Chains A and B, each alone.
Chain A
Amino acid sequence: MFQIAIIIFAVLLFIFGVVVFVDVLLAKKNNTKYHTKQVITAFLFILPAAIFAFFFIALPILYSLGYAFTDTGLFEPDGGKFIGFENFKAAFEEIKNGGTLAIAIKNTAIFVVLVVPLQITVALLLALFCNVKYKGRTIFKVCFFAPVVISLAVTSYLWLILLDPSSDGLMNTILMSFGLPQQEFLRNPDTTMIWIVIVSAWQGAGYQMLIFSSALSGIRKDLYEAARMDGCNAWKRFWKVTLPGLKPTLLYILITVFIGACRIMVQPMLMVGSYDPKAITISYFMYGQAYDFPYLVGYSSAIALLMTIFTGTITFLQRKLLGEKRK
Chain B
Amino acid sequence: MKKLCLLALPILVLTSCGGSSEKDGGQDSSGNTIVKVMFHVDGQSEEGMAYKKRINAFNSAYKSQKIKASADFVARTQGTTSYEQVLISMKQEGTLPSIITFDSPNCSTYAHYKLVVNVDDVFTEEEKNEFITLNRYQGKTYGIPIQESSAGFYYNKTIFAEAGIDVSGYTVENPWTFDQFKDVCRRLKDHGVATPVDMRLDATRDETATYLLYPFIYAAGGDFVDENGKVTGHLNSNASKRGFQFFKDLVTNGYTSYSVGATDFFTGKAGMYLSSGWTIPDLLHKYKKNRDEWGLLPYPKDVTAASATGSWSYGLTKDTEAGRALLKWLSTPESAQVITDATGMIPAHKTLGNDYEINSAEYVLRKQLELSGTPRPEMVGYSKFSAYFANIINGIYNQEVNGVVDSFTSSLQTELDKIK
Residue positions of A touching B, CB distance < 8 A:
71, 73-77, 90, 94, 97, 99-100, 165-169, 172, 182, 184, 187-190, 272-278, 291-296, 299
B168 within 8 A of A: no
**Contact in complex: B398, A97 (CB < 8 Å):** no
With CB as the reference atom, state the residue of chain A lying closest to B389: A274
Give the Cβ gap from A77 to chain B, nearest Cβ, in Å.
6
**Contact in complex: B88, A294 (CB < 8 Å):** no
**Contact in complex: A182, B384 (CB < 8 Å):** no
Given known contacts A166-B261, A168-B262, A99 and B205 CB-to-CB distance under 8 angstroms = no
**Contact in complex: A274, B391 (CB < 8 Å):** yes
Which A residues lie within 8 Å of B287 (CB)? none
**Contact in complex: A187, B258 (CB < 8 Å):** yes
Give the Cβ gap from B204 to chain A, nearest Cβ, in Å.
6
Kindly specify which of B68-76, B291-299, B351-359, B411-419 makes contact with the partner chain.
Answer: B411-419
Please report the C-alpha to C-alpha distance between residue A74 and residue B410 in the assembled complex, in whole angstroms: 24
Please report the C-alpha to C-alpha distance between residue A172 and residue B414 in the assembled complex, in whole angstroms: 38
Which B residues lie within 8 Å of A293 (CB)? 109, 381-384
B181 within 8 A of A: no
Please report the C-alpha to C-alpha distance between residue A182 and residue B397 in the assembled complex, in whole angstroms: 16
Please report the C-alpha to C-alpha distance between residue A74 and residue B418 in the assembled complex, in whole angstroms: 13
Partner among B259, B390, B420 whose Cβ is within 8 Å of the Cβ of A182: B259
Give the Cβ gap from B375 to chain A, nearest Cβ, in Å.
18
Give the Cβ gap from B379 to chain A, nearest Cβ, in Å.
11
**Contact in complex: A167, B259 (CB < 8 Å):** yes
Please report the C-alpha to C-alpha distance between residue A222 and residue B415 in the assembled complex, in whole angstroms: 62
Which B residues lie within 8 Å of A188 (CB)? 397-398
B44 within 8 A of A: no
B65 within 8 A of A: no
**Contact in complex: A75, B418 (CB < 8 Å):** no
Given known contacts A73-B420, A77-B92, A299-B418, A273 and B205 CB-to-CB distance under 8 angstroms = yes
**Contact in complex: A168, B419 (CB < 8 Å):** no
Residue positions of B touching A, CB distance < 8 A:
81, 84-85, 88, 91-92, 109, 113-115, 202, 204-206, 258-264, 381-384, 387, 390-391, 394-395, 397-398, 410-411, 414-416, 418-420
Question: Total contacts A to B, CB within 8 angstroms?
Answer: 93
**Contact in complex: A187, B383 (CB < 8 Å):** no
Partner among B113, B204, B259, B384 whose Cβ is within 8 Å of the Cβ of A75: B113
Please report the C-alpha to C-alpha distance between residue A272 and residue B202 in the assembled complex, in whole angstroms: 11
Give the Cβ gap from A278 to chain B, nearest Cβ, in Å.
7
Give the Cβ gap from B257 to chain A, nearest Cβ, in Å.
9
Which B residues lie within 8 Å of A71 (CB)? 420
Please report the C-alpha to C-alpha distance between residue A184 and residue B418 in the assembled complex, in whole angstroms: 35
Which 8 A-B residue pairings sit nearest by Cβ, starting from the closest? A168-B261, A165-B259, A75-B113, A166-B261, A273-B205, A166-B259, A293-B383, A274-B390
Given known contacts A73-B420, A188-B398, A100 and B383 CB-to-CB distance under 8 angstroms = no
Interface centre among B115, B205, B381, B416 (most CB of A within 10 A): B205
Main secondary structure of the interface of A (DSSP, over half): loop
**Contact in complex: A75, B387 (CB < 8 Å):** no
| 19 intermolecular pairs with C-beta atoms under 8 Å apart | A71-B420, A75-B88, A97-B410, A99-B414, A166-B260, A168-B261, A172-B259, A187-B258, A189-B395, A190-B398, A273-B204, A273-B205, A274-B387, A291-B85, A293-B383, A294-B384, A294-B418, A294-B420, A295-B88
With CB as the reference atom, state the residue of chain B lying closest to A291: B85
Which A residues lie within 8 Å of B383 (CB)? 292-293
**Contact in complex: A275, B391 (CB < 8 Å):** yes
With CB as the reference atom, state the residue of chain B lying closest to A183: B259
**Contact in complex: A189, B397 (CB < 8 Å):** yes
Which A residues lie within 8 Å of B419 (CB)? 294
Which B residues lie within 8 Å of A100 (CB)? 411, 414-415
With CB as the reference atom, state the residue of chain B lying closest to A299: B418
Please report the C-alpha to C-alpha distance between residue A291 and residue B202 in the assembled complex, in whole angstroms: 25
Which A residues lie within 8 Å of B258 (CB)? 165, 184, 187
Which B residues lie within 8 Å of A275 (CB)? 387, 391
**Contact in complex: A294, B391 (CB < 8 Å):** no
**Contact in complex: B398, A189 (CB < 8 Å):** yes
**Contact in complex: A74, B88 (CB < 8 Å):** yes
Interface centre among B206, B411, B416 (most CB of A within 10 A): B411
Which A residues lie within 8 Å of B264 (CB)? 166-167
New A-B contacts (9) at CB < 8 Å, excluding given A165-B202, A273-B205: A165-B259, A166-B261, A168-B262, A182-B259, A184-B259, A189-B394, A276-B390, A292-B81, A293-B109
Which A residues lie within 8 Å of B414 (CB)? 94, 97, 99-100
Which B residues lie within 8 Å of A299 (CB)? 418
Please report the C-alpha to C-alpha distance between residue A295 and residue B204 in the assembled complex, in whole angstroms: 22
Please report the C-alpha to C-alpha distance between residue A172 and residue B206 in the assembled complex, in whole angstroms: 23
Please report the C-alpha to C-alpha distance between residue A75 and residue B381 in the assembled complex, in whole angstroms: 13
Give the Cβ gap from A4 to chain B, nearest Cβ, in Å.
15
**Contact in complex: B262, A166 (CB < 8 Å):** yes
